[in-house]
A and B are shown apart, each in its own frame.
Chain A
Amino acid sequence: MEKKRIYFDHAATTPVRREALEKMLPYFSEVFGNANSQHMFGRDAVKAVDEARDTVARIINAKPSEIYFTSGGTESDNWALRGTAHARRDKGRHLIVSSIEHPAMIATAKQLEKDGFDVTYLPVDETGTVSPESVRNAIRDDTVFIGVMTANNEVGTIQPVKEIAAIAKEKKITMFTDAVQAAGVLKLDVKELGVDMMSFSGHKFYGPKGVGVLYVKSGVKIDPVMTGGHQERMKRGGTTNVPAIVGMAEAFRLADEEREKNAAYVTALRDRFIAGVEARIPDVKLNGHRVNRLPANADFSFRYIEGESILFHLDLAGIAVSSGSACSSGSLEPSHVLLAMGVPEETAHGSIRFTFGTDNTAEEVDYAVDVLAETVKKLRAMSPLFKQFEGEKQYV
C-alpha cells in the first residue's frame, strides 16, 4: 500500500499553485534584470513588478503606491511596528498590541520595550477575541500604534478589526493589522476596514515563500527598517525579488477570484472534521470562536495527553498537522495564544491545529478522524492524568 501523505497544515504554508509557478518561471533566467537598473533589462523587470503591484492594490482596494513588497509576513510585521514606533516617537512612546499576535509582533514589541517604549498587551476572552472596549481603555495620550491581527494563526479567531480601527482613527493612532492568515481567504478592503497598515505573505495562499506585502496608507508615517538601496520608493532596501512578487500577485489574484468557492469547500471539510472529532472523542475542546473563525482552521485540545505525541502518531499515519505544545517548538512554555485565552497549561500542552486546503478531500478528513480517535485512546491509556477519569467518562 502506498503510504498516505495528507497535508492538514495549510496555515503553516501552502504549495505554490501551478498557475503562479508558471507565471514566475520566466523571471528567473529570461527576464532576470535588476528592477533598479535603468536599461532595458531593468525596465522589463519593473514592468512585471508594476503589474503585480497593481493587482495586489486592486484586490485590497488600495493605490499601487501604497503597496510595499517585502520578504514576507515577519518582515512586514517588524517593519510596521518598529517603523511606526521610530517615525512617531516624538509624538509618543506607547504601543498597543494584542497578546495573541504572531511572534513577529510580540518579539518586536519586547525589543522595543528594551529600547524605552511602553507596550500594552491586550487581553482576549476565552474565544480568543480582542474587545474594542479593551482597546479604548488601553489608549493613552502618548499612544502611537495599535496592532491587532485580522485572524489568529493558531486558533483562527477573526478579530473585530473594523471596530478597533474606528477607535484608532478617532484618536489619531496608527492602526495596523497582520492579515497573514486572512489574506486570500477573507475579503480584505483596507478602506472598509479603515486600517492604516496591513501585512500579508505570499506562501499562505498558494504563492511562493520569501515574499510579502506591507500596505501603508498614503500620508501615514513610517521609517524604513531595511535600509539600503532605493527600492520601494526609498522605503525598503534590497534587490526586488521579481519572480516571487510575480508569483504572489498571480496567486493572490486567483485566490480572490475563487474566494467564495474555496471558502465554502474548506469550511465543509473543517465542519465535517469538527463534527467527527466531537462525536468520536470525549474530553476535547475546540479552541477559538466557533463561528468567527477562519474557514480552514480547527484547533483542538485533547485533555490528559501531550500534543507532540499526537503529532508524531498522526505523522506516522501520514497526516501532517501542527502542535501548539511547547515540546515541539523546543521551548518550555505552551502556546501564548491558548494561555492568553485562559486555557490551563496542561490542556494547552495537548493542542493540535488542523488547517485544511483546497487540495484536501472528505475521505482524508474521515481517515484522519479515525486515526485521531485511535491515537488519543492509545495515548490516554498511557497517561497518568487520565486514570482518575476512567470510569467517569465513556469512550465511544
Chain B
Amino acid sequence: MYNEKVMKVFQNPKNVGEVENYDAIGTVGNASCGDIMQITLKIDNDVITDAKFKTFGCAAAIATSSTATEMIKGKTLDDALKITNRQVVEELEGLPPQKLHCSVLAEEAIRAAIEDYRKKQGA
C-alpha cells in the first residue's frame, strides 16, 4: 500500500524529538482518532532554524511528520505557511487515499506552531 519512499522515511525518520528551548510548539489531532502530531520550532529572525516532531500515528503520519519538518527548515515563517499538504504528499511521491488526512495533519501542525509563536511574540 505504501510506496518505497514512504517506507524509507518511516523507517528512518528525520527530526525526531523536541527542539531544546523551542520558540514554538504546535500539537494537533487526538488519540481517539489514532493521530497526534507535535511540532516544535527554533526561530531566529522569522526564519525556522530547527524543527522536530513527535508523532503518535501510523507509518504515513510518521513519514509526513519527518518530511514536513525537513521542508520547513531554513524557511521564513511566511514561506513555511505556504507549504500545503499536497506538497508534502508530492515530496513523498504519493500516499494511499485513506492516508491523505495524515498529510493534512502535518500542514495543520506547522500552522499551529507558527500561530503559537506569533501569539507569544504579540503578547
Contact surface of A with B, Cβ cutoff 8 Å: 304-306, 308-309, 312-313, 316, 325-328, 330, 332, 334, 345-346, 349, 381-385, 387
How far does the alpha carbon of A383 sit from the alpha carbon of B38 in the complex, in Å? 9
The answer to whether A309 and B36 have CB atoms under 8 Å apart is no
Closest to B13 in A: A382
How far does the alpha carbon of A138 sit from the alpha carbon of B97 in the complex, in Å? 41
Contact of B7 (CB < 8 Å), options: A305, A306, A312, A328: A312
Residues of B within 8 A of A309 (CB): 10, 57-59, 61-62
How far does the alpha carbon of A363 sit from the alpha carbon of B49 in the complex, in Å? 47
The answer to whether B32 and A383 have CB atoms under 8 Å apart is no
Residues of A within 8 A of B47 (CB): none
Q: B117 contacts the other chain (Cβ, under 8 Å)?
A: no
The answer to whether B58 and A308 have CB atoms under 8 Å apart is yes
Chain B: interface size category: 20 to 34
The answer to whether B31 and A385 have CB atoms under 8 Å apart is yes
The answer to whether A349 and B34 have CB atoms under 8 Å apart is yes
- Could you list some 11 contacts between A and B, CB below 8 A? A306-B58, A309-B59, A313-B11, A316-B11, A327-B60, A332-B33, A334-B34, A345-B32, A346-B32, A381-B16, A383-B54
Residues of A within 8 A of B62 (CB): 309, 382
Label chain B's interface by main secondary structure.
Answer: mixed
How far does the alpha carbon of A313 sit from the alpha carbon of B36 in the complex, in Å? 19
The answer to whether A306 and B61 have CB atoms under 8 Å apart is yes
The answer to whether B56 and A312 have CB atoms under 8 Å apart is no
The answer to whether B34 and A382 have CB atoms under 8 Å apart is no
Q: B98 contacts the other chain (Cβ, under 8 Å)?
A: yes
A383-B55 contact, Cβ under 8 Å, with A309-B62, A346-B31: yes
The answer to whether B34 and A383 have CB atoms under 8 Å apart is no
Contact of B58 (CB < 8 Å), options: A316, A325, A345, A387: A325
How far does the alpha carbon of A334 sit from the alpha carbon of B33 in the complex, in Å? 8
Contact of B57 (CB < 8 Å), options: A306, A313, A387: A306
Q: B67 contacts the other chain (Cβ, under 8 Å)?
A: no
How far does the alpha carbon of A312 sit from the alpha carbon of B96 in the complex, in Å? 15
Contact of B54 (CB < 8 Å), options: A306, A308, A316, A382: A382
| Mask of B23-62 contacts with A, CB within 8 angstroms, 1/0 | 0000100011111111000000000000001111111111
A327-B34 contact, Cβ under 8 Å, with A382-B17, A383-B55: yes
B16 to chain A, nearest CB (A): 5
The answer to whether B16 and A305 have CB atoms under 8 Å apart is no
Instruction: Please name 15 further chain A to chain B contacts, defined as beta carbons within 8 Å, in addition to the given A308-B58, A309-B10, sorted by A numbering.
Output: A312-B59, A316-B7, A326-B33, A327-B34, A327-B57, A327-B60, A328-B58, A332-B33, A345-B31, A345-B34, A382-B16, A383-B54, A385-B36, A387-B18, A387-B54
**Chain B 57-71 interface residues, beta-carbon cutoff 8 Å to A:** 57-62
**Chain B 70-123 interface residues, beta-carbon cutoff 8 Å to A:** 98-99
Closest to B37 in A: A384
Residues of B within 8 A of A328 (CB): 58
Closest to A382 in B: B16
The answer to whether A305 and B56 have CB atoms under 8 Å apart is yes
A78 to chain B, nearest CB (A): 26
How far does the alpha carbon of A125 sit from the alpha carbon of B94 in the complex, in Å? 42
